[in-house]
Amino acid sequence: MAFNVKALAPGFGAEVSGLELREGMDDGLAQTLISIWRDAGGLMVIHDQQLSSEQHISLSRYFGPLFGDLGEQPLQDTVSQYIHPDYPEIYRVSNQVDNNGQPRGRKGAGTYWHSDVSFREYPAQASILLGKQVPETGGDTIFADQARAYEALSDAMKKLIAPLYAWHDFEIAARTQYAKPVVVEDDMSGTNRARHPVVRTKLETGRKSIYVNPGFTSHIEGMHAEESNALLDYMQKHCTQPQFLYRHRWRKDDLVVWDNRSLMHYAVMDYPDDAPRYMERCTVIGERPQ
Ligand SMILES: O=C(O)CCC(=O)C(=O)O
């Protein structure tokens, strides 16, 4: 299948067009797309994908097992109300309500810098988000490349953070970032707290990235609160500088695949409620950060 690939931004990201994944995905095409994604630093946009839920799920599984597939604590524990009623592999993000007054997905999901599911021992690797309804303007998603952010640090700072571990805690986001009453106490059940290295290395490439995020990282282990807060504040400023960012302006039927091991993202909620936005996400479970 012939298709076009272009760079999205000078430092990272690939844009793929001219590909109809609904016509079928085989091992060869999947490996080609995974290589493009990996070489582009873990960000790939594939335009014009009118996929059924089954097709979305089955192509996502080429990237690895999805949350829930391995019988581990499912992602649903933290987002129970927003899981697709017929497809437990799909998490929904939306500003819309259905005819019964039920939300079609989490409203305002990810309106803060985060890396998906970093509060688990085995956090998300790829997230694969399909934009089914997108506002005419606004509702962009911003990605921050944490590998290049790491590489830009001084050697002294790299040495300082190399041995550090940080704690990630779902409650940080649930209690501070999400609009009430969106998060319910049920969403807090299970183990949603994990300890990870501040710098992680991607298994396939050996490339290092900063792995703390304002959404879920509560503190750096072994530091006084003032020290930990100061270092995390510095990291946030450093990691979100414009040269590390790509801002995605959604087109309907964009399929965006990002690697949570080396990218943070931020969903910009600047669109009105009467501009429908509906997205479906499959989430690939990753390795334990090293
Ligand atoms: O709605 C978006 O643009 C992204 C939502 C988000 O942060 C996520 O799915 O993790």
Predicted confidence band of residue 103 (pLDDT cuts 50, 70, 90) = confident
Q: Does ligand 1 lie within 6 Å of residue 104's CB atom?
A: no
Ligand 1, closest atom to CA 91? Answer: 9
Closest to 288 measured CA to CA, from 122, 40, 147: 122
Widest Cα–Cα separation across the chain: 57
Cα 114 off chain centre by:
7
Residue 141 CB neighbour total at 10 angstroms:
20
Whether residue 112 has pLDDT greater than 80? yes
Q: Does ligand 1 lie within 6 Å of residue 235's CB atom?
A: no
- Pocket perturbation via mutation, ligand 1, pick of 281, 282, 284 by most ligand atoms within 8 A of CB: 281
Q: Whose CA is nearest to atom 6 of ligand 1?
A: 110
Q: The whole model's pTM is what?
A: 0.93
Q: Are 153 and 254 in contact (CB under 8 A)?
A: no
Predicted confidence band of residue 90 (pLDDT cuts 50, 70, 90) = very high
Which structure tokens are listed for 33?
Answer: 């797309």
- Provide the sign of the torsion angle of the four alpha carbons 113, 119, 122, 124, taken in this order: negative
As a CATH number, domain 4-285 is: 3.60.130.10
Per-residue confidence (pLDDT) for residue 104, from 0 to 100: 87
Cα of 208 vs centre of ligand 1, distance in Å, is 24
* 125-148 average pLDDT score: 97
Per-residue confidence (pLDDT) for residue 196, from 0 to 100: 98
Model pLDDT for residues 34-86, shown as the tens digit of each residue: 999 999 999 999 999 999 999 999 999 999 999 867 665 555 555 677 888 88
Q: Does ligand 1 lie within 6 Å of residue 15's CB atom?
A: no
235: CB partners within 8 A, 6+ apart: 210, 212
Ligand 1, closest atom to CA 116? Answer: 10
Of residues 258 and 171, which shows the higher confidence score?
258
User: What is the domain partition of the chain in residue ranges?
Assistant: 4-285
Model pLDDT for residues 191-205, shown as the tens digit of each residue: 688 999 999 999 889
Q: What is the mean pLDDT of the chain?
A: 90
Ligand 1, closest atom to CA 114? Answer: 7
Q: Are 119 and 170 in contact (CB under 8 A)?
A: yes
User: What is the Cα Rg of the chain in Å?
Assistant: 18
Per-residue confidence (pLDDT) for residue 186, from 0 to 100: 46
